[in-house]
Amino acid sequence: MKKTRIFFRLAVLTLAVAMVLSFTACTGGSANYNTEPHTVNENTDQTEFTIMGAQSALSPGYDDNEVLNDLMDETGIHITWNTMSDSLSEQVNIRIAGDIMPDAFMGVGFNNYALSMHGEDGAFIDLAPYITPEIMPNLYQILEDNPRVRAAITMDDGGIYGLPAGEQMGTGGVGKEKDYSIYSIPQFSMINKAWLDELGLEVPTTLDELHDALVAFKENDMSHTYYGNDPGTTLPMSTGFDQWCWGQNIFYAGFGFTNWINDVCADLTLWDDGTVGFVSTTQNYRDAVTYFHDWYAEGLMDVEMFSQSDTQLISKCQQGYVGVSTWWYIEELMGDYSDDYVFLPVLTGPAGTEYEGTRNVTIRTGGGTNGGQLSITSSCQSPINLLKFFDKWYEGETVMQLQYGPIGTYFLDQDENGVWNSITEEQAQEKFGKGAGELKSYYEVQGPKLILSKYYLENFNMEDRAIERLNDLYDYWMPQVDHDCVYPVDCVFTADELDTIDRFKPDFESALSEQEGLWLRDGGPTDEEWDAYIQHLNDKCGMQELLDVYTAAYGRYAAAEQ
């Protein structure tokens, strides 16, 4: 008895010693500062650097990348690349926690929260003092010309802990008057025209007409009677649920909104009067889920819409089971049956209600600018040398080659204005035996690449598919948009605001999505359910706090614009 007690004490003692040791070990390894933060470190001795970062899964690594090697020769430095295509964030976190720091992290995609945090704890140095005409002339000029870019990468404390990156691919890049991001409308709806013709129906223009068409598809089992599939295989309409390019959200336009996947916060909307709100607390939203539940209950919407993957959707579509669906390209989704499908225009709301004639697509933002693509750590001795190298990245012709591939490989010829043409799919297959997309993935360097809209006009032409999609977007879909206001993805939040977002947003978003699904499946909300829902969002999910944060951030953004 006594013996065991002694051993117990021994155990406790060993544990205690081990814990003390581990704490001291932790504090012993904290970062060492070379200079005062927020000033320029004038040291230029170091010319050998190690960078840890991302590469595309198809890339062979950057050691033999001629574009990067040329840039290194030009600036007189050498970089050892330690890059990987997946599990990068785990590896990076382990490195930061274990204080095994490279000179810089590239292409990791730190969010503003991580950047502020690592800026504050001294792991990343403040780059703002280095962005001068002497050290970084190209970037300096871009930030002078585009105050928005500067605003997007400047943290709350005035520091810049990462160089800007972004891809401003939009209709402006194909010479349109207004510049809409390629991501403005992610879902293009489509319908089987052959089935409509067979049934003697017109292409619907209202939700009611679509409803009748779907009922006709179902009753006549079109997949069976027209394509000869097994009886009962017809799925009048199949989509995902709140998915990127294959969701049901485009059909809500008849109720005056479309709640796309949102990079800022789910269902966050900037109304055309400049106020910020959540669309999922409006009467329109309530009426929409109530209305579409009837479709679901009648078996017009696929019962698997909540659970299926894009692969499952493609599978169904390529068998010819599906009457109506959404994607970017018809060919992609419908395979052999593509010729039978046409784009379905944005449909107006149900007749006899206040939504008769309503047809409003709310657009979404583009990729925006982010500062998480290149951060220099406190272990770098000569940030100036490294930044001179990265300043070269902010030249149109250089960034084009970093994004797609070298001149002579991906860019083979120039048009009459000296603008480079991308390799075509056929040329790529012929010369390299790969698709153009694969070729891009092979040569692409992931890092602080800022591709300005004007580069598409001055330096290189976009890929054919992108041009086609932008033309579709501009000519066919944008005219159906009433208000092109959208909550800016570049809004910068203060540290406190980021804490609030971090605390509430995940719960809030999952509560919205779960409830939307339940109402679609089980029937729209009664007054009590609706009140309970609003109350739940307010009490448990911090809706008001989130709204305040987003309103305040937009207020600062709008003020800076003027």
Q: In terms of CB distance, is 8 or 33 closer to another protein?
A: 8
Site for another protein in 424-443 (CB under 8 A): 425, 435-438, 440-441
Toward another protein, which CB reaches closer, 19 or 351? 19
CA distance 360 to 347: 9
- For residue 58, CA distances in Å to 54, 173, 401, 517 come to 12, 27, 17, 37
Of 93, 111, 141, 414, the residue at the interface with another protein (CB under 8 A) is 93
Instruction: Work out the burial of residue 432: count CB atoms within 10 Å of its CB; fewer than 13 is exposed, 13-18 middle, 19 or more buried.
Output: middle
Does residue 58 bind another protein (CB under 8 A)?
Answer: yes
Per CB under 8 A, 18 contacts another protein:
no
Number of DSSP helices (H) and strands (E) in the chain, helices first: 21, 15
Residues 6 or more apart in contact with residue 277 via CB below 8 angstroms: 268, 269, 271, 547
Nearer to another protein, 43 or 429 (CB): 429
Residue carrying structure tokens 């970084």: 136
Total Cβ atoms within 10 A of residue 546: 23
* Cβ distance to another protein smaller for residue 92 or 481: 92
Token pair in block for residue 504: 């509430």
66 in contact with another protein (CB under 8 A): no
- Judged by CB, which is closer to another protein: 10, or 16? 10
- Provide, rounded to whole angstroms, the least separation between the CB of residue 171 and another protein: 16
- Cα-trace Rg, the chain: 27
In which residue are the tokens 């939700």 written?
207
| Shortest Cβ 209–another protein spacing (Å) | 29
Do 196 and 215 meet the contact criterion of CB atoms below 8 Å apart?
no
Please check whether residue 246 is in contact with residue 240, taking contact to mean a CB–CB distance below 8 angstroms.
yes
Say how many residues touch another protein, by CB under 8 A: 46
Asked if 66 and 98 count as a contact pair (C-beta separation under 8 A), the reply is no
Residue placing its CB nearer to another protein in the complex, 158 or 232: 232
Cα–Cα distance for residue pair 229/192, rounded to 1 Å? 15
Pattern of binders to another protein over 295-314, x per CB under 8 A? ---------------xxx-x
Interface with another protein in residues 325-364 (CB under 8 A): 329, 331-333, 335
Using rule CB under 8 A, residue 90 touches another protein: yes
Q: Which of residues 207-266 bind another protein (CB under 8 A)?
A: 245
Q: Is 94 in the site for another protein (CB under 8 A)?
A: yes
Tell me which residues touch another protein (CB under 8 A). Answer: 3-4, 7-8, 10-11, 22, 25, 56-58, 85-87, 90-91, 93-94, 97-98, 100, 245, 310-312, 314-316, 318-319, 321, 329, 331-333, 335, 425, 435-438, 440-441, 463, 465-466
